[in-house]
A and B are shown apart, each in its own frame.
Chain A
Amino acid sequence: MFFHIVLERNMQLHPRHFGRNLRENLVSKLMKDVEGTCSGRHGFVVAITGIENVGKGLIRDGTGFVTFPVKYQCVVFRPFKGEILEAVVTMVNKMGFFAEAGPVQIFVSNHLIPDDMEFQSGDMPNYTTSDGSVKIQKDSEVRLKIIGTRVDATEIFCIGTIKDDFLGVINDPAAA
């Protein structure tokens, strides 16, 4: 899910950036530093939407660097256990399938795929019901539920399930 959140960060700025454009330099450095990072608490920082407040700078002892406390608003994306997401299948194998929802990777193990769906190998590996009416393959869109998350320095990885009511394939690229 996407969130709007206010975060704070101490930015160190080199004296060469001081002057009329100080604030602009500060903001662009903040964007470079923060956007795309990820933490377990907040998830992915997708974009900065505004600066709330830039505090008074403090000169670091021994260097010319100045530290500014910056409060900024940003859009973050974080998956939650129990959340329902629509994701695109990226890879299918006999262990299950991988899907992607925004910057987040989700793995759905074959234990968490309904039992009436069997793995079919071939050029386009897929999970299909015995009557062939439902098929999960690469690029299928599935609605899944997040049951576990793991956060890396640069990535969030989730375990999902489609073995529940109202979960499963939403649209099938093969049928279109």
Chain B
Amino acid sequence: MEKGGKGFSLPTKTARKSSLKSTTTKQASLKGKDDSSAKSKRAMKVQFDVEGSLGKFETPLPKGDSSKWGKGDKTAKGGKGSVSKPPPPLELKIEQELPENVKCMMDCEAADILQGIQDQMTILSKDPEFKLPPSFDRGLLYAKRVDHYTNPPSVRQVLQTLKKYGVSDGEICVIANVCPELVDEVFALVPSLKNKRSKLSEPLKDVLVELAKLKKSTSLESQMKSAEAGNPGNVGGLGVVDL
């Protein structure tokens, strides 16, 4: 996936190297800016939207010249103070990265499906040799832990209304998984939505109100509830393999 087999593509790399050579914050921050623009050319989609451009180019700057993070007093932390790259607007590009026959799932939907499979396994598995792999258990555990909602199909239904405003499936799933409370939270966490902010804010507010109604109240209660309800079965007509 990454071009450099051995390392991660951390945007800080060049910024740090350069700032070691020149310690003046001004230069470092300039360098950081260059880095981000180079990066944006290569990998990031920078939007020159009427709304987006203002926010996109003005916000990284104050972070870059280190006023926001209060770096000045942290010089003892070995290099940490010299990292001055503005966080590039990292956007989610699920649709471009995956083949077409793919359907994004919300974590709550995945939790239901995986739980259904596990329940079947305990009944059907006659082959003692056959075992679900550890990644299945971890996946199920994870999906259950981050499952914030009582009823996945209605969550899907509520969020589906955002589709007509141009919100992609991937973005819908991230919103569902994050389970945000504020409209600002959504735009901060899913920056690709920022250029649709004006027309999205209102419907998004309504959606978040609806989502809040579908939320499980506490984790303990939800555990009890799911224990009572048992296996809710398959979501979206997905079959489970008969063995």
Contact = CB atoms under 8 A, between A and B. Distances in A.
B240 A35 contact: no
Given A1-B104, A3-B103, A148-B9, A46 B114 contact: yes
Q: Which size class do B's interface residues fall under?
A: 35 or more
Interface in B124-140: 127, 130, 132-136, 138-140
Contact of B142 (A4, A27, A101): A101
Nearest to A71: B101
B208 interface: no
Contacts of B110: 2, 75, 77
Interface stretch (A9-17, A57-65, A108-116, A120-128): A108-116
Contact of B132 (A2, A27, A41, A47): A47
Contact of A82 (B90, B135, B142, B239): B90
B238 interface: yes
Contacts of A49: 113, 117, 238-241
Given A24-B243, A50-B239, A80 B94 contact: yes
Contacts of A145: 90, 189
Chain A residues touching B, range? 35 or more
A162 to B, nearest CB: 12
Interface in B147-205: 170, 173-174, 177-178, 180, 185, 188-192
A102 B142 contact: yes
B225 interface: no
Max chain A CB contacts within 10 Å: which of B80, B104, B135, B177? B135
Contact of B241 (A38, A48, A77, A161): A48
Contacts of A44: 135, 139
A27 B140 CA distance: 21
A115 B117 CA distance: 44
A88 B142 CA distance: 9
Given A5-B99, A102-B143, A145-B90, 14 more contacts: A1-B173, A2-B104, A4-B105, A5-B101, A28-B130, A28-B243, A42-B98, A84-B174, A103-B134, A103-B142, A115-B70, A147-B10, A148-B9, A164-B188
